[in-house]
Amino acid sequence: MGGRPTLRAASSPIRSLAVLAIALPMGLTAVGMTAVGMTPAALAAPAQPGACTAPMQGRYAVMTMGTVKEQLRTSPTASLRQERWLPGGVISGELTERVGRSSRSATYQGTVTLVGTCLVRLERQLPWGRQVSEAVLDGKGRPLYSLDRGAGTVITGRWLPMAPGSCKAADLNGTVLSSQVGMNGQNGGWTPNAVVQREQWRDGSVQGVALASNNGVGETVGYSGRLTLDANGCWGNLTERDTKGVAYNYRALIVKGRAGARGYFYLQSDPADLTVGWLVRD
């Protein structure tokens, strides 16, 4: 998950927030798992020419980012999810989320409902309230992008199918590239940044270079870091330090593929830097 060092102007670190772009019980029909590494299941024929198949069961990695209104103030927000679509329209997931300078994590349950041609509605019950979004499906019934439907939110999501099983740090070995945008907290507000990165991974260790613009001020910086994965899963913690000695901390989710990792999502945990990104393995 390498959120690269969110470079900051002057003494502040610069880090990027990836603006990426990124439903429920009603007889969800199981569909063949043609996504990466997923187990095949029954497939429902499309009802009309050009329609999608039914929503595809399986495991997905989800990255969201946007803004939310809190008591007349608009704050940036971002999250990572590992979500499973199960038989009967049931969903089960794990979430880590940032809202402004605060963070929170939870497991949750919910439902997915087909609400139109290639459209689904997702309803999740989180410890802090109900969350509703809608997603568009590709021709195989896989969600690719979603939009939060809560009042006062402007939040998009990007989805990637994940193969079954746990992950290893070595799954990322090789070259990883990313293009990201984000926000840094400064003087009671938030300023934009963008970062392009190139990394080399080996067994959980990373060396990289970040090309960054922090609120219009450009900088190039090298960094190194280490990913420690949770036991028997694809979540982990990533710590990095740039050549100026500034440390950065992230929650990472490896996107497991059939052969190694497709890449990883990350969400920065340093309160003053709200960064989320998708890093692609070469």
Question: Which residues make Cβ contacts (< 8 Å) with residue 10, sequence separation at least 6?
Answer: none
- Quote the tokens at residue 237: 């913690």
Q: What are 228's two structure tokens?
A: 């420690």
pLDDT in tens, the chain (282 residues): 344 444 333 333 333 333 333 333 333 333 333 333 443 333 344 445 556 788 999 999 999 999 999 888 899 999 999 999 999 999 999 999 999 999 999 999 999 999 999 999 999 999 999 999 999 999 999 999 999 999 999 999 999 999 999 999 999 999 999 988 789 998 889 999 888 899 999 999 999 999 999 899 999 999 999 999 999 999 999 999 999 999 999 999 999 998 889 999 999 999 999 989 899 998
Both structure tokens of 80: 């990572």
Alpha-carbon distance of 83 to 217, in angstroms, equals 37
Burial class (CB in 10 A: 0-12, 13-18, 19+), 146: buried
- In whole angstroms, give the CA distance from residue 114 to residue 256: 26
Domains and CATH numbers, the chain: 169-281 (2.40.128)
Closest CA to 107 of 88, 120, 124, 85: 124
